[in-house]
Structure 1
Amino acid sequence: MDLPTAFAAAVPLIGWTTHGAWLSKRLATARRDPLTGLHTRDGFTARAHRLTQRRPGRTSVLLIDLDDFKATNDTYGHAAGDAVITATADRLSAWCGRTGIAARLGGDEFAAIVLDAPARLPGLRATLNQPVPYAGSMLPASASVGICPIAELPVVSLTDALRSADRDMYAHKRDGRTTRRR
C-alpha cells in the first residue's frame, strides 16, 4: 500500500475513533448526577444488576429519602437544599466505600447497593441524621432509610429489592423512627 492510500484509509479511522471516544464520554457523563456526581438511575441499575448476581447472599439494596426536604428548601432556599443533597450524597458515598454503589435517583431520593449492610446500617442512619454546615450555620438534616437484603427475596430481582426497600423506608417514615421531630 502506498503512502497516499494508507493516509486516506487512516483519516476515517481516526475520525471514528475520536467520535467513539466522545460518545463514550458523553454516555458516562449522562450516567452521573451533575449536582452530586453520584450515579443516576441508569448508571446505578447497570452496576447493581452485576453486584446482585455476583454476591446475592451478602448484598442489600437501600432506598434513602430526605425527611422534610421541602421545608428545608422553603425555609433556607434552594442553595441550602443543594447543600443538604450534596452532603447526603457525600455521606452515602463514603458509607458505601468500595463495597457498594451509591446513586441519586432524583430530587431528594437516593439508593445504594452494598455488601454486608445490615450490620452497618445504624452507622448510616446516624451519619445521615447529622446537621449540614451551610453559610456559617447548621441546617437540620435527617433521612429515612429502607433496606432489602437480596437473600430474603424468593428470586434475585433488583426491581423487587427496590420495591421492598421502598416499603421498608416508608414504614420507618410512618412510625417516626428516623424522621425529625419539630
Structure 2
Amino acid sequence: MDPHTTVSILPLVGWALHGGILARRLACARRDPLTGLHTRAGWTDRAHHLIRRHPHAAVLLVDLDRFKALNDTHGHAAGDAALVETADRLRAWCGRNGTAGRLGGDEFVAVVRDLAAADLGALTAALHRPLDYGGVSLPLAASVGVCAVADLSVPVLADALAAADAAMCAAKGRGRRGSRASR
C-alpha cells in the first residue's frame, strides 16, 4: 500500500472508531444500567411514536410503595432486586403491546398501544406478588396511574404523563394498592 494512501485512511479509521464509541455511549444512555429498561430519553422517543400512531394508546406511571422501608429493612441489594423484578414484570406485561421505562428511583413508566387490550388487573397483581430474595419473601406493592390518550383533548405526551401522575397519586391515597385511571 502506498504511504500516502495509508496516511489518508488513518483519519477515516479514527473517525469510524470514534463514531462507534459515541453510538455505544448513546445506546447506554438510553438504557437504565440496573434494570435494562429505557431511560426517560429512550422511552420518551418511543412513547411519542406510539401515541401518534395508536389512538387507543395509554400512558401508565408506576411507583413502588414503601420502597424506602424495604431498602432500610433489607438493604440496598434487596432494593435493587425489587427494582429489577418490577422492571421485569412491567416489561413482560407490556410485551409487544408497548414499552416500559424507568424514570429514576422507584418510578417506572409504560405506554401501551391499546388500553382495551391491556389487562390492568394482571399488571396490578404482578406488581403486588412478593419477591423471593435469598430465601426471604419481600413484600412488593405499587401504585399505578393510567391515562388513556383518547381522553385528552390533544394527544400530547406531557399531558398524558401529568394525568397518569395525578391518577397514581390518587391510587396511593386509596391505600397504596391498585391502579387508577385518570378522568
TM above 0.5: yes
- SS for the counterpart of 2:73 is helix
Amino acid at match of 1:161: A
Amino acid at match of 2:143: S
Partner of 1:137: 136
The 1:22/1:177 distance shift into structure 2, 3 A limit, reads closer
Partner of 1:104: 102
Alignment counterpart, residue 64 of structure 1, candidates 62, 72, 75: 62
Amino acid at match of 2:27: A
Deviation at 1:9, TM superposition (A): 2.3
Question: What is the alpha-carbon distance in structure 1 between the residues aligned to residue 167 and residue 62 of structure 2?
Answer: 10
Question: What is the alpha-carbon distance in structure 2 between the residues aligned to residue 4 and residue 97 of structure 1?
Answer: 54
Partner of 2:35: 36
Partner of 1:80: 78
Deviation at 1:133, TM superposition (A): 0.9
Quote the sequence identity (%).
56
Question: What is the alpha-carbon distance in structure 2 between the residues aligned to residue 149 and residue 177 of structure 1?
Answer: 21
Deviation at 1:3, TM superposition (A): 3.4
TM-score (norm 1): 0.92
What is the aligned residue count?
177
Deviation at 1:50, TM superposition (A): 1.2
Deviation at 1:108, TM superposition (A): 0.5
Question: What is the alpha-carbon distance in structure 2 between the residues aligned to residue 108 and residue 175 of structure 1?
Answer: 19
Q: Which runs of 5+ in 1 are unaligned?
A: none
Equivalent positions of 1:115-130 (< 5 A) are 115-118=113-116, 119-130=118-129
Deviations 1:18-65 (A, max 9, x none): 11011000011011111111111111111111111111x121100000
Equivalent residues of 2:142, 2:176 under 8 A apart: no
The 1:159/1:87 distance shift into structure 2, 3 A limit, reads same
Deviations 1:116-174 (A, max 9, x none): 23441111001000001101111000100000111111111110000000000111111
Partner of 2:171: 172
Question: What is the alpha-carbon distance in structure 2 between the residues aligned to residue 15 and residue 138 of structure 1?
Answer: 52
- SS for the counterpart of 1:166 is helix
Deviations 1:84-122 (A, max 9, x none): 111000000111112211111011000001122344111
Partner of 1:163: 162
Please tell me whether residue 25 in structure 1 is matched to residue 12 in structure 2: no
Q: RMSD value over aligned CA atoms?
A: 1.4
